Structure 1
Amino acid sequence: MRDAFSRVVEQADKQGSYLSGEDINGLSALIADSNKRLDVVNRLTSNASAIVSNAYRALVAERPQVFNAGGACFHNRNQAACIRDLGFILRYVTYSVLAGDASVMDDRCLNGLRETYQALGTPGDAVASGIQKMKDTALGIANDSNGITKGDCSNLMSELASYFDRAAAAVV
């Protein structure tokens, strides 16, 4: 996993140049927003169980054919795996928010996930729907302005949404 600082230094080194004013301004903005990132990660982590379980319940209600007899996730073991996987994805989304980089999620969570679901006969679009449900709940929790660092969080919320979108796209 590379953080934003490592990426900027690596890129400048490859070009054999000093950090540009744009690079330094971008890193300064990241530092200024670090408390907001920590607030978001703390909120998501504190509410992880509810985010995952609510997404799972909504997914079961939306796609009962997947969870009823004959469905890909009928057995308790498969249902537990679904909940576990949603939790893994949420955890890696929080890592990505903290780092400001999706590479850890790509490398350690999403790489090969589509193929795994295909091999298990699990419909990727159902998993993607569950991820989108987590996204909706997580954005609501993260965007609540009570008790967090004040300021414009629209870019951070867009970034957070993009990590969920990236995960959903990886499974279909």
Structure 2
Amino acid sequence: MKISTINAICAHAHDQARFLNDSEMQHIWNRFQKASIGLEAAKQLARCSDSLAQRASQAVYMHFPMYASDPRHSACCYRDITFFLRQISYCLVADDTAPLDDYALSGLKEIYQPLELDVDCAVIALESIKLHHGIEGESADAFEQYLDYLLNALRNMQLDATTLRPQSLFAEPQQQVDSTAQVSPPAIEGVQLLQRWLDDDDDQEQCETGEFLVRALDENRSSERELFPLSMKGVSW
């Protein structure tokens, strides 16, 4: 439920020096009902997030078995899927796509395109979750609303990519890059967006991962790129 919407209704009635009418009361009541559904969906998602992330990781490894043998890839894959699920849970509580927009999608294209990374693994993981999430009732519709929103955004990035590589965005890139290459302006813009977000974030692990990406792109050092798991923990997908 968006409190700002309710405040706007009350402010409109106040400007006209009147009580809320039946239509406005019904609108507010509908908002509360929708908020209740979102809260229940968020609760169910929190309870099953671990099993969902594990199942989705296995779906990724079925398509890209080369990543299953490295425990670092496995850990990053699980963490990154959990990150997406966590942002969706925030959307359910807020009744808004802002958590996904601000923390998952903002600046994403500017980061992954210069590094020639694709989003195939993330799409496969999320599609698996959609098929097997196990959330029931109206909560399922609420959850799938934001899951579809995220999937559509990632699929659009697939279509926009000039070169797709069968490479997990939470795995280490296998191809070396030219250390003399210049970082493109879009990449710099993406890093600036990321840095502004990091300045306001309290998650130490997330900040450390993001700060590493900022340094690596800023210094444009191929030796640092070898260290990327490019986790979806706020910096890559």
Q: Same fold (TM over 0.5)?
A: yes
User: Normalized against structure 1, the TM-score is what?
Assistant: 0.69
Distance 1:37 1:54 in 2: 23
Partner of 2:141: 158
Structure with higher Rg: it is: 2
Measured after TM superposition, the shift of residue 118 of structure 1 is 3.7
Partner of 2:51: 50
Partner of 1:68: 66
User: Which structure has the higher relative contact order (CA within 8 Å, separation 6+)?
Assistant: 1
Measured after TM superposition, the shift of residue 20 of structure 1 is 7.7
User: Normalized against structure 2, the TM-score is what?
Assistant: 0.52
Distance 1:30 1:88 in 2: 27
* CA displacement 1:116-168 (0-9 Å, x = unmatched): 44455442133112112122322xx221x6xxxxxxx2xx5333212111212
Measured after TM superposition, the shift of residue 24 of structure 1 is 4.1
In 2 relative to 1, CA 22–158 (structure 1 residues): closer, same or farther, beyond 3 Å? farther
Distance 1:118 1:23 in 2: 46
* Structure 2 counterpart of 1:88, from 83, 88, 108: 83
Aligned length: 151
What SS is found at the alignment partner of 1:47?
helix
The structure in which a higher percent of residues are helix is 1
In 2 relative to 1, CA 162–37 (structure 1 residues): closer, same or farther, beyond 3 Å? closer
Partner of 1:169: 152
Distance 1:121 1:17 in 2: 54
Partner of 2:94: 99
* Structure 2 counterpart of 1:110, from 105, 113, 122: 105
In 2 relative to 1, CA 124–32 (structure 1 residues): closer, same or farther, beyond 3 Å? same
Measured after TM superposition, the shift of residue 98 of structure 1 is 1.4
* Structure 1 counterpart of 2:135, from 129, 133, 142: 142
Partner of 2:3: 5
Report the RMSD for the aligned CA atoms in angstroms: 3.2
Distance 2:6 2:15 in 1: 11
Gaps of 5+ in 1: 146-152
Distance 2:114 2:69 in 1: 16
Percent of aligned pairs with the same amino acid: 21
